[in-house]
Each structure stands twice: as structure tokens, then as C-alpha cells.
Amino acid sequence: MTGLNHGLTGAAIALTVKNPVLAVPLSFASHYIQDAVPHFDYFAGKHDEYVLHRRFNVVLAIDAILSLTLMIVLAYLFPSQKWIIWGCMAAAASPDIVWAYYFGYVQRVQNKKIRYGHLTRLHKFVQWSATPQGIIGELAWATILIALISNINR
């Protein structure tokens, strides 16, 4: 899933669970559940070949800008809950940071063969259907979560 959808899911969890002790780990776990659903991936899992490709960087930058905009909007809409929302959004998106480590640091900087850890192997396994056509599922997911969050009482 895109960082935006991981963030939306984390925000929805924060606003419904409200207890950070439960909401943050649930948000982290939601990442793997979302990645098991067919979703968008411009390069269909070939990030190791395209991580420095210009189109990859454009898609990543757009996703980051939209995610940061979401954080600002939610802080405005739910000011008393912004910290739990931001924490859950970060927890929900955080498993993808490992890809920057593996492809940006291990492969590019250290010039070493990538050897995934157990959690990263699980992460790769659950992403069985990440394709450019997955944008349809991403848009549906975002629409549902935006509607859900919009209907939560402030």
C-alpha cells in the first residue's frame, strides 16, 4: 500500500481505539495486513532495480507530500488527538522504512548482497500482489477511510 493509505489506516485506528498502548501496535500490525491485500506498486516489487529511477522517486515524493498534508489536516481537525494520530500514522507506515535501509544503504552504499531478516521476509511474502493496477484498490481503500474518518465526532 502507499504510505498515504498506511497513514489513513493508522489515523482511523487512533481515532477509534484511542488508547495508545493498543492503538500503536495495532497500527504497526495493520501494515502487514494491508500489504496482503492487492495494492499499488509502480514497479511491481522490483524496487531493487528501480530504487534510484526517476519515476520511483516522483511516486515516492507525491506519496510523502500527500501523507504530510494528511498529518496537517488531521491535526487541524482533531487537535486534542494529534499526537496519537501521528504516532499511529508513523507506526502504520514504519515497516516500509526497511526498504530504504536495504536498497539505499546495504545495496547502494555498502554494495553488498541483501540478506533479509525474518520480519522483512514476512513483509516480502505478504506483498504477493503489488502491481500498477492495484491503484484501483488503493483509491477504494482511501475513499472508505476518508469517509470513516470524516464521520468521527470531533
Q: What is the DSSP annotation of 33-55?
A: HHHTS-EE-TTTT-HHHHTT-HH
pLDDT, tens only, 6-18 = 999 999 999 999 8
Whether 96 has a pLDDT exceeding 90, the answer reads no
Whether 50 has a pLDDT exceeding 60, the answer reads no
In the chain, what are the domain boundaries? 3-96+128-150
Which region among 8-17, 34-43, 64-73, 134-143 has the lowest average model confidence (pLDDT)? 34-43
Whether 125 has a pLDDT exceeding 60, the answer reads yes
Percent of the chain at pLDDT exceeding 70: 86
Of residues 92, 89, 114, the one with CA closest to residue 104: 114
Sequence-ordered list of residues with C-beta below 8 angstroms from that of 120, at least 6 positions apart, any chain? 98, 102
Q: How far apart are CA 107 and CA 121, in angstroms?
A: 16
Whether 30 has a pLDDT exceeding 80, the answer reads yes
Confidence of residue 151 (pLDDT cuts 50, 70, 90): very high
